[in-house]
Structure formats: C-alpha cells, structure tokens
Amino acid sequence: MGNKHSVGEPLEAWEVSADAFDDSGTHRSSHVGDIEIVRVDLDQTRDVFAVLDGEDAILGRLAELILDPATGRLDPTLDAQLEPLGSRLLILKTMRLTPEWRGFGLGILLAGIAIKKLAGGVRAAVCDPRPLPDPQDADGDEDPVEREVAVAVLSEVWTQLGVEHFRDGVHVLDLNLVTIDERLEWLRKRAEQYRTFEG
C-alpha cells in the first residue's frame, strides 16, 4: 500500500504512491499520485496537540482546528459529534494527483482506499480539501477567486466519501457512522464509467 515511517514516536506517517500499469501488470505506464497520511493514537499520546503542532505547518493548522490546545485532546464539539468507538485519528495531510489523472474521480477513490486500509481502531479521518500550491507556479501568484472555487469543488468531491465539514475548511469522516465499503463501491463504479467512455 505504501511506506510507513515513524515521525516521532506516537505518530505513524504513511506515504502512498499510486501508479498505473500496463495490461500485463508488469510495467508502470505512469505515476497517478501521492498521498501522505498521519495516524495518531489519542489514548496513547500524552499531548496530541503538541505532537502535531511540532511536526509542520499543515499538521499544526489542523491541530488548532480539531484539538483543544489547553488539554491536547479532541475539541469538545468534535468529540461530541463523533461516535465514541476507536482511539486513533487519521489525518490526510496531503494528496496530489498528476495533472493527466485529474478529473476522473480517482483522487477521492484512492484516498478512500487508503483510509480503509488504515482504519483499524480509527475513530475518524480528518482532511482539509484545499488545493496544494502548484510546484510549477514559481512566483506563487494565485487568483483568490479561482482558489475559492477550487476549495468549493474539492469540498463537494470529499462529501462523496461521507466527510462532513467541521470548521474552517476542515472535514471529518466518522468511521463508525459511514460505511466506507459502500462509498468505495460507488466511487469505483463511477471511475469505471470514465474508463468505458475513454476506451
């Protein structure tokens, strides 16, 4: 599925690489995309807020929105919103599809498959579906209107997996309420339609 490495002991970081292969399944025809996921155990980690905030800006921002800085635990509003089963939290840190694979519904399907693989003991998955800066855009100029449209479109796409908006762009998937297998089956069928149209 991907490579796991410990970031600093209570965090597990997973790097998932998706590739397309030829019909024989032996030669990679193209790279589809990459996903970075962090898994943390809320019961085994003394101060989840400090751990996430100390890693990098993306995890720090998410920590500010889903955790209570005073206690280092889940924000009380989010805690009450989620079913109480499971002690782990999945954070989809980054996801990037290569340009030629965008627009076919593969990003959300790949994210859902990764979440399912890592869902053991997980209470919820968290993501912030904002577009990542384009590495080819060296000057960093970005039209704010285009960005808002992209955020709205990505937010809508993520709802197909069952995520719900929590606060300031952060979306949460309660893995005790959403039947991920049913969502993935629907997403697979939809992705297959693109293949039928293309073929």
pLDDT of residue 199: 46
pLDDT of residue 109: 92
Task: Decide: helix, strand or coil at residue 128.
Answer: coil
The more confident residue out of 25 and 190 is: 190
Instruction: Flag the least confident range among 86-100, 115-129, 130-144, 184-198.
Output: 130-144
Instruction: Flag whether pLDDT at 196 surpasses 60.
Output: no
Residue 139: pLDDT band with limits 50, 70, 90: low
- Residue 197 tokens, joined: 């149209």
The more confident residue out of 142 and 11 is: 11
Residues 6 or more apart from 181 whose CB is under 8 A from it? 116
The C-alpha atoms of residue 32 and residue 20 are separated, in whole angstroms, by 6
Instruction: Flag whether pLDDT at 37 surpasses 90.
Output: yes
pLDDT of residue 74: 92
Cα separation values, 138 from 57, 97, 100, 126, 133, Å = 20, 19, 20, 29, 10
CATH 3.40.630 holds for 3-198 = yes
* Mean pLDDT of the 64-93 span: 93
Instruction: List, for residues 148-162, the tens digit of each pLDDT value.
Output: 777 677 778 888 888
Task: Give the E-state strand segments of the chain in sequence order.
Answer: 3-8, 11-21, 28-41, 67-68, 73-74, 88-97, 122-127, 164-167, 170-174
Backbone phi, then psi, for 100, in 5-degree steps? -70, -15
pLDDT of residue 76: 95
Instruction: Flag whether pLDDT at 142 surpasses 90.
Output: no
The C-alpha atoms of residue 101 and residue 74 are separated, in whole angstroms, by 35
The C-alpha atoms of residue 123 and residue 173 are separated, in whole angstroms, by 9
Cα separation values, 29 from 98, 120, 162, 167, 199, Å = 13, 32, 31, 39, 16
- Residue 16 tokens, joined: 């998932």
- Residue 87 tokens, joined: 């002690």
Instruction: List, for residues 38-65, the tens digit of each pLDDT value.
Output: 999 999 988 899 899 889 999 999 999 9
Q: What is the β-pairing status of strands 88-97 and 3-8?
A: unpaired
The C-alpha atoms of residue 147 and residue 24 are separated, in whole angstroms, by 40
∠ Cα 103 94 198 (to 5°): 20
